[in-house]
Structure 1
Amino acid sequence: MFSIRKAVLAALCLYPLGALAADPTPNFNSPDGQYLDWLDHSVKPGTDFFHFANGSWLKANPIPADRSEWGAYVALDLQNQRYIHDMVEKASQDTAAAAGSAEKKVGDFYASGMDEKTIDSAGIKPLQPELDRIAAISSVAQLQDEFAHLTMIGVAAPFALAQMQDFKDSSKVIAVVMQAGLGLPDRDFYVEGGANNEHIRKEYVPHVARTFQLLGDSASVADAEAKTVMALEISLAKASMTDVAMRDPHAVYHLMDVASANALTPKLHWQAVMTGVGHPEIQNFNVATPDFFKAVNDKLTSVSLDDWKTYLRWQLVQTYEPYLSKPFADEGFRMSSVLSGEQQQKPRWQRVLRAEDGALGFAIGKVYVDQKFPPAYKQAATQMVNQIRDALRQDLKTLSWMTPATREAAVKKLDMMELRVGYPDKWRDYSTLQIDRGPYVLNVMRATTFEQQRELAKIGKPVDRSDWDMTPQTVNAYYDPSMNSLNIPAGILQPPSYDPSWPDAVNYGNTGATIGHEMTHGFDDQGAQFDGHGNLKNWWSPADLKKFQVAVKCVADQYSQYTVDGGVHVQGKLVTGEAIADQGGLILALRAFHAQPGYASAKTIDGFTPDQQFFIAYAHSWAMATRPETAKTRVTTDPHPPEIYRTNGVLADIPEFQKAFGIVPPSPMVKKDRCVIW
């Protein structure tokens, strides 16, 4: 995801993007969704509520060897993947599917990905034409042409080009260019100290060298090439903004015309780049990270063409490594395991299904919704969404620290928020996407190009408000600040997260908090900078904004005190938005739950009051065990706090929780100086 809008989305979704589950699948059958067998009664609620609510589940469900983490939502995702697996496998065996139909494309893509014999026998051959293109580069002008070409096949090296809604005028879709081009997940891995980063760097260079050897280079040549790649990527990393800095939308918005961009980077010819991606008409675009492009401009001539070609070969192969023969896929996993701690690769069907979700996800989603998401689910979930919006509206109207003018603007934004549940109103058209039964890597490449063309075609046209950034079957949710829309895919609306037949306490504590989380993103430290139309525009009075910023700092400071394995600190400023959304979402869900007609007569179950059931359900949503390697990688790259703090950190700020369980200070579950925003 390379557009600014999608970069923001990555920070405003419920879970880290890209999670895919593994074996085995816990039993999520429950008549009431209580899952009381997850509880560990040896842990006191006032000491560690996360382990009180989830301890027995975690003990009974160790992390599988092919997973970096294992928890309730990850296991739900696997349950979902198995259902979808049956769908696509049947499609792959359907000989009657019409040529060119979405059904045939779904089946052919899966069949090509599962044909290991053909994939292994082909080796690097399907990618050879792309390698030949890189080898033929003989000038800086051709090098820039290759940058554009690689962008269109999903290789963002050394930069990314995509579309976004204009931050200052959300009715417009504009082009955006931004930093990219690193083989490791984040610039910090290249430039920051610490034992973990140094270990990753030490493993990365030999990994690059081994990949070059797979391409046929000798060991000595491959070693030299790996050092070349590392040197160039370090220089790009040094010029890159930090993830924390990029959370400020003002910092990544620099609208320029072609002449101004050329003046910024005289050696990087932007009209040629836009022509190279098929859009010569683009004359204005957002240069999101100007300092990065100044560095790229300098390196166009200070770095030799041979070194650039070495770097581009690496970037191309690394991007497509998972879809090539076994030696390439295994080498890619070898480095991935350094970052994640995974001990073995996921089964092939899961890897192929993940690729297919990106390639044909909405074709799969249409069948999925028809089979698995009845209208009653959509109706019940939509009702919950509306009730949580009512709770936020009431909260905004009664906040003691907010003045009338700001309150009016906040309520207006909330009323304008589009609430989308289940699936899009208009399904994506894949009729022009060519898919066949092989080679697999070319199916992936064509699907990537198709999607990039679809995205860039939006530039200069009216915003398509029917478009979704997550497929309906996704076990996740997101808020889009430029659209001012809340999006709850059908995939997350199933056990153990949700069932319309369950008690309100369970549904509101789990899915209700998810809905509230996404809604609160419209008013977190990022979302609060956008108005109801999705424009980057201040709607706060100076005094209210100052109060809000003090409260935001309280949250950042609180989470900065938390650590993961080895004492590595959470980046409070990186996770602030998600932490605010967690807290706000839970409070809104609780208020909406209390407003239900049946709340007064809700039953105590197995000794737990309705409010206690609510908070246990919330903690269940974060049941997760994480490998140390992944935990340390996530605090560098992930805007979401670790799950234990998404439980304990949030609840320590909630008096209603402490009252429900009779917890009094001093206690780890009672924060002395509470952080209060919504």
Structure 2
Amino acid sequence: MKRSLIGAACCALLAFSAHAQNAAAPVSGIDLKTLDSAVRPQDDFYGYVNGIWVRNTEIPADKSTWGTYIELRETAQGQLRNVIDTTIKHPGKAGSETHKIADLYNSFMNEKARNAAGFKPLHADLARIAAIKDKRDLPALFAYLQRNGVQTPFSAGVSPDARDPENYTLNVSQSGLGLPDRDYYLKDDDAKLKGIRAKYQQHIETMLTMSGDHEAAAHAAQILDVETRLAAAQWTRVQMRDPVKSYNRVAFDQFNELAPAFDWKAYFAAAGLAPKASSAVVRQPSFITGFSETLDKLPLEAWKSYLSWRVIESYAQYLDSATVKERFAFDGTVLRGVPQSEPQWQLALRFTDSSLSDAVGKLYVQMYLPPETKPRVMAMFDNFVASFRDGIEQLDWMGPETKKEAQAKLAALKPNIAYPEKWRDYSALKTSPTDLVANVKAARAWSHQRNLEKLGKLVDRDEWSMTPQTVNASYNPLLNAITIPAAILQPPFFNVKAEDAVNYGLLGITFGHEISHAFDDSGSQYDAKGRLRNWWTDADRTAFKARAAGLVKQYGAYSPVPGYFINGELTLGENIGDNSGLSLTYKAYHRSLGGKPSPVIDGLTGEQRLYIGFAQKWRAKLRPEAAIAQIKSDPHSPGEFRAKGTVMNQPGFYEAFGIKPGDPMYLPPEQRVLMW
């Protein structure tokens, strides 16, 4: 065995050096307890950084996955519980935001009232569906169900127009499936997916029986048939990543040519979309045509069964305990492998948070965001932008014309850090202290109406796509903005008392990742103003695609579950974000040093701590069912491969850990992919 270049460092880490115990020494932020000295970083960097954690950690019974991200989300959940508990004790006057928070949470927790109600809260909607006598009644029904957050075969929503990002447009997109992806319906050569499909049909039958349906078995078969036909018409997730092919402007009076079996004029009127708009962007035109063909072929009774199921499935988690239990048995255990449901307070918290996100967010920021956090994070962001700006100029594969456009886009990038400057107004939302389903409907209808009211208005570029209490981050290509919420600005991702290396490796990579999304295979098709426009020369776009193909090949070879490989095309944007983001993080960290060498702490250089922090960020364990669902439906690679695959492309990683030819972590220079 080759001697590790940092073998002595491992011993120092596990024993804690006197230097590390010196109160005057800077705090590194590394989780020393997880480092496995029995594993060489040159052999398995993920195992070296997280091996002890992986061996000693069990996924909690109520979770499908567990890791650093989920741990932080649990921390944020605990903080939110304190926010809610404080609010319930002091709800304020009736009609106030705090009183509405208390209403929603208390109505969810009132299990006695929910059990007494059973399926009664759904009787009116189910009766409305049962009363339909003609397919011509479906457009108005679709509009009603969509307003109340119930899935139909297509969705309609408002967002900035990709061809005219100063204005909003209506988008019509495929929808309507109960399983995570079309493959669950169509893959007959996959025994696991076929088994899940059979259990899904049985689950539908069970739920229909519980609702009082005396022909549940026949109706369950009809429902699966409808969803299978819709799945066959749907675009794949890879196809949907193409923003150009997904932009198809269709005038309202031309929808009947695309899908003649559905009365679109009646739908647009019932949905309140006409005359506010006269056209929509259809994301998947062939699906809309396929939906029309399916609507024409299948009898009305099949559609009534399908829509009844969509109502039941949509509200099942808000009904009596027996229905909630049956829903979890399928959605939780069959689909994700989770043996035990989360405690009711967490479910109540999630519902309240999602329904009154900004009202809860204001309270969260007041209680849990230290005032010194935002200025330090903003300084870090500026460092990343400066490093990316320099990096663009140093690219040897991009010409000056494209570089000029890239610099303009970077300069226009808007950072949304910690919390929004404007909060949503919930005065129009009416709540009940006891009726949970009424609260669900009211919150959904309020959100739906707020979205539709954007039509005809200029785009609000200050609106956030995430709440401050969300442990995540995002990039919006239509607004050319990144969002870094307050909840992610805390340990272990950010420690205001820690030195920069780990803060850069854990939080900084989030900046690097989201900035890089502006220039990934999809985001790079939008310009500085968020307009879908080709600002590349043909030669530069060809060079970009050649590099991206290397990442598709690299990640497509990883198999998190035997027989299931990561889809390198589906995950390409996120893999570009990780690889470009980590490269940018390394440069930004060095910029922060101001020309000084990185400090050695706990026997590790700053560069080593940065990469260790990055790998610790992605430590995670998944149940096999959850891993399969992620591979099929999620554009993110599982954490182990985000960590391992990314560092293997970084020149700084090879230098920091002495990776040599013959080491398992070694990739020949010609196979390493760096986009930016």
Q: Which TM-score bucket, shorter chain as reference?
A: over 0.9
1:229 to 223, 231, 234: 223
2:30 is the counterpart of 1:49 = no
Aligned to 2:286: 291
One-letter amino acid matched to 1:453: Q
Maintained 8 Å contact 1:593/1:599: no
Cα distance in 2 between the residues matched to 1:111 and 1:32: 43
Aligned to 1:88: 84
Cα distance per residue 1:523-566 (max 9 Å; x no partner): 00000111111011001111111000101111111111010222
Cα distance in 1 between the residues matched to 2:294 and 2:231: 13
Q: Pairwise mapping of residues 262-661 of structure 1 onto structure 2 (< 5 A)?
A: 262-281=256-275, 282-336=277-331, 337-597=333-593, 600-661=596-657
Displacement after TM superposition at 1:375 (Å): 2.7
Cα distance per residue 1:85-123 (max 9 Å; x no partner): 12112222335x111100000111101111111111110
Cα distance in 2 between the residues matched to 1:504 and 1:156: 46
Cα distance in 2 between the residues matched to 1:656 and 1:299: 55
Cα distance per residue 1:50-96 (max 9 Å; x no partner): 1211122233331001100000110111111111112112222335x
1:129 to 106, 124, 129: 124
Partner-residue secondary structure (3-state), 2:74: helix
One-letter amino acid matched to 1:142: D
The alignment covers a number of residue pairs equal to 646
One-letter amino acid matched to 1:165: P
Cα distance in 1 between the residues matched to 2:193 and 2:661: 39
Cα distance in 2 between the residues matched to 1:58 and 1:452: 43
One-letter amino acid matched to 2:155: A
Cα distance per residue 1:300-340 (max 9 Å; x no partner): 33211111110000011111111111111111111111111
Partner-residue secondary structure (3-state), 1:566: coil
1:40 to 36, 39, 58: 36
Cα distance in 2 between the residues matched to 1:262 and 1:187: 26
Maintained 8 Å contact 2:414/2:480: yes
Displacement after TM superposition at 1:519 (Å): 0.3
Partner-residue secondary structure (3-state), 1:144: helix
Displacement after TM superposition at 1:259 (Å): 1.3
Aligned to 1:675: 673
Maintained 8 Å contact 1:473/1:489: yes
What runs of 5+ residues in structure 1 fail to find an aligned partner?
A: 1-29
Aligned to 2:113: 118
Partner-residue secondary structure (3-state), 2:281: strand
User: Which deviates further from its counterpart, 63-72 or 296-305?
Assistant: 296-305
Displacement after TM superposition at 1:599 (Å): 6.5
Maintained 8 Å contact 1:652/1:668: no
2:173 to 172, 178, 182: 178
Larger Rg: 2
Cα distance in 2 between the residues matched to 1:60 and 1:377: 33
Cα distance in 2 between the residues matched to 1:668 and 1:259: 60
Displacement after TM superposition at 1:598 (Å): 5.7
Cα distance in 2 between the residues matched to 1:226 and 1:31: 59
Displacement after TM superposition at 1:278 (Å): 2.0
Aligned to 1:4: none
One-letter amino acid matched to 2:674: V
Cα distance per residue 1:414-447 (max 9 Å; x no partner): 0011111011110010010011112212211211
Aligned to 2:4: none
One-letter amino acid matched to 1:444: V
Displacement after TM superposition at 1:515 (Å): 0.6
Cα distance in 1 between the residues matched to 2:251 and 2:263: 12
One-letter amino acid matched to 2:150: V
Maintained 8 Å contact 2:34/2:51: yes
Aligned to 1:257: 251
One-letter amino acid matched to 2:235: M
Maintained 8 Å contact 2:249/2:279: yes
Maintained 8 Å contact 1:32/1:501: no
Cα distance in 1 between the residues matched to 2:301 and 2:86: 48
Cα distance in 2 between the residues matched to 1:485 and 1:328: 41
Q: Pairwise mapping of residues 163-242 of structure 1 onto structure 2 (< 5 A)?
A: 163-192=158-187, 193-218=189-214, 221-242=215-236
Q: Pairwise mapping of residues 68-83 of structure 1 onto structure 2 (< 5 A)?
A: 68-83=64-79
Partner-residue secondary structure (3-state), 2:245: helix
What is the TM-score when the length of structure 1 is the normalising length?
Answer: 0.94
Cα distance per residue 1:129-186 (max 9 Å; x no partner): 1111111111112112111111111112111111121111111101111110111111
Cα distance per residue 1:597-649 (max 9 Å; x no partner): 36625421221111101111111110111111111111000000111110010
User: Which deviates further from its counterpart, 290-299 or 237-246?
Assistant: 290-299
Maintained 8 Å contact 1:89/1:110: no
Displacement after TM superposition at 1:270 (Å): 2.1
Partner-residue secondary structure (3-state), 1:177: strand
Cα distance in 2 between the residues matched to 1:299 and 1:451: 30
Q: Tell me: CA distance 1:602–1:676, structure 2 relative to 1, closer, same or farther (3 Å).
A: closer
Maintained 8 Å contact 2:465/2:483: no
Partner-residue secondary structure (3-state), 2:514: helix
Cα distance in 1 between the residues matched to 2:296 and 2:586: 59
User: Which deviates further from its counterpart, 597-606 or 652-661?
Assistant: 597-606
Alignment RMSD, CA only?
Answer: 1.3
Maintained 8 Å contact 2:230/2:294: no
User: Which deviates further from its counterpart, 232-241 or 274-283?
Assistant: 274-283
Maintained 8 Å contact 1:90/1:107: no
Cα distance in 1 between the residues matched to 2:425 and 2:641: 41
Displacement after TM superposition at 1:203 (Å): 1.1
One-letter amino acid matched to 1:483: L
Aligned to 1:247: 241
Maintained 8 Å contact 1:161/1:176: yes
Displacement after TM superposition at 1:374 (Å): 2.5
Cα distance in 2 between the residues matched to 1:599 and 1:92: 52
Cα distance in 2 between the residues matched to 1:554 and 1:410: 22
Aligned to 1:662: 658
Cα distance in 2 between the residues matched to 1:383 and 1:439: 47
Cα distance per residue 1:8-32 (max 9 Å; x no partner): xxxxxxxxxxxxxxxxxxxxxx954
What is the TM-score when the length of structure 2 is the normalising length?
Answer: 0.94
Q: Tell me: CA distance 1:559–1:601, structure 2 relative to 1, closer, same or farther (3 Å).
A: closer
One-letter amino acid matched to 1:677: M
User: Which deviates further from its counterpart, 277-286 or 640-649?
Assistant: 277-286
Displacement after TM superposition at 1:676 (Å): 2.3
One-letter amino acid matched to 2:83: M
Cα distance in 1 between the residues matched to 2:539 and 2:422: 43
